[in-house]
């Protein structure tokens, strides 16, 4: 844009009354500032989410903060470590599919199979049960594939019907847990419902619609972002034998001799520099759809839209020089 509409005044071009385009990486700290500054989202940018009661679609700054706070403990490092058995189970279910395809011949879509695996993990963690998507013949998963009655839609667009079935499942699951007695441990595995159904949270924040909206956002956002990053990272590793050999050597040296992969822990793996570099590079290359909220450091503003280019020469020139050496 700046090459077409050169601005003699500087690196900022106003696109319309609500948007500007900035071609200056050094301006980044002034835009991505602390969450202590007040900023409201533009209603038009979140209306299309169709989940108006979720954290992601909450417009008011001071309403957003407590809503996010209700869920924060369930995304802590301790909570992630507690997920290790479920993560191991789904990973090894998926690698089993890989082995069968290797023996029988054929091919798999990384995007589809990793989306299925991620969805299983998220649904089991936050709703207490998954649909075993990794064992679907073609890794059918309504969010990665896909709103009249479901029976009618299924005759026209079966993948969209599958999405509605998932939404219906989430609604029913939430209703069941809300109706259950606190002593009923069989329903105590749903993290999102336990957190949002807590009586200490205001009643208006515990409505069924709010729970459903939040559940859908967590399922969709958590599945697509992770699947994209992991698919991109695996693709580049598979294409480069030197990198994957180095990564295997680092991991093998870090775990105990003979230790089964299904017992590898986050504590063992998070300290590995090359593995950490691979993860960060996968995140950079995947261009995830969710970025931090933009806000100006000293004014109360409402934001409409933002873009952050992560592949500009100014950002990565030094990194590329180090790689070349």
Q: What is the tens place of the pLDDT at every residue in 74-111?
A: 788 888 888 899 899 999 999 999 999 899 988 888 88
Pairing of strands 19-22, 12-16: antiparallel
pLDDT tens string 268-286 = 999 999 999 999 999 888 8
Answer yes or no: is pLDDT of 149 > 70. Answer: no
pLDDT tens string 245-254 = 999 999 999 9
Give the up-direction half-sphere exposure of residue 303: CA atoms within 13 A in the CB hemisphere. 21
List residues bridging with 20 in a β-sheet.
14
Burial of 183 (0-12, 13-18, 19+ CB in 10 A): exposed
More confident residue, 209 or 2: 209
- What is d(CA 205, CA 196) in angstroms, rounded to the nearest whole number? 7
- Judged by average pLDDT, the poorest of 110-114, 141-145, 203-207 is 141-145
pTM across the whole model:
0.68
Distances (CA, A) of 116 to 119, 121, 222, 282: 5, 9, 12, 19
pLDDT tens string 180-233 = 644 455 444 566 666 666 777 888 887 778 878 888 888 877 777 888 889 899
Q: Where are the alpha helices (DSSP H) in the chain?
A: 28-31, 43-46, 61-71, 77-82, 84-104, 110-127, 142-145, 150-156, 158-179, 191-196, 208-239, 241-254, 266-269, 273-286, 313-324
More confident residue, 55 or 46: 55
Task: Give the pLDDT confidence score for residue 255 in this predicted structure.
Answer: 93
Task: Give the pLDDT confidence score for residue 70 in this predicted structure.
Answer: 83
Q: Which long-range contacts (CB under 8 A, 24 or more apart) does 196-202 make?
A: 196/70, 196/71, 198/70, 201/70
CB contact at 8 A, 97 and 135: yes
- What is d(CA 119, CA 125) in angstroms, rounded to the nearest whole number? 10
- What is d(CA 190, CA 177) in angstroms, rounded to the nearest whole number? 8
- What is d(CA 295, CA 280) in angstroms, rounded to the nearest whole number? 25
CB contact at 8 A, 233 and 278: yes
């Amino acid at each position: 844009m700046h090459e077409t509409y050169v601005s003699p005044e500087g690196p900022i071009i106003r696109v319309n009354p609500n948007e500007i385009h900035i071609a200056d990486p050094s301006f980044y700290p002034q835009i991505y500032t602390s969450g202590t500054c007040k900023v409201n989202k533009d209603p038009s940018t979140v209306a299309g989410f169709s989940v108006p009661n979720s954290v992601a679609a909450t417009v008011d700054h001071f309403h957003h903060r407590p809503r996010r706070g209700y869920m924060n403990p369930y995304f802590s490092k301790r909570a992630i470590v507690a997920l290790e058995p479920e993560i191991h189970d789904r990973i090894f279910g998926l690698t089993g599919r890989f082995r069968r395809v290797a023996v029988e011949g054929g091919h798999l879509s990384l995007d589809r199979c990793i989306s299925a695996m991620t969805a299983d993990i998220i649904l089991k963690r936050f709703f207490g049960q998954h649909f075993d998507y990794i064992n679907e013949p073609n890794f059918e998963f309504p969010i990665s594939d896909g709103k009249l009655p479901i029976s009618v839609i299924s005759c026209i667009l079966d993948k969209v019907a599958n999405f509605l079935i998932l939404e219906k499942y989430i609604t029913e699951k939430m209703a069941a847990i809300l109706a259950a007695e606190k002593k009923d441990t069989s329903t105590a595995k749903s993290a999102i419902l336990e957190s949002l159904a807590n009586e200490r949270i205001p009643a208006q924040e515990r409505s069924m619609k709010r729970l459903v909206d939040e559940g859908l956002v967590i399922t969709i956002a958590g599945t697509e972002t992770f699947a994209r990053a992991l698919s991109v990272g695996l693709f580049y590793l598979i294409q480069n034998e030197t990198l994957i050999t180095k990564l295997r050597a680092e991991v093998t040296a870090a775990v105990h001799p003979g230790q089964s992969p299904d017992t590898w822990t986050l504590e063992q793996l998070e300290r590995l520099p090359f593995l950490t570099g691979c993860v960060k590079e996968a995140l950079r290359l995947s261009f995830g759809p969710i970025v931090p909220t933009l806000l100006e450091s000293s004014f109360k503003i409402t934001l409409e839209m933002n873009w952050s280019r992560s592949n500009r020469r100014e950002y990565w020139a030094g990194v590329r020089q180090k790689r070349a050496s």
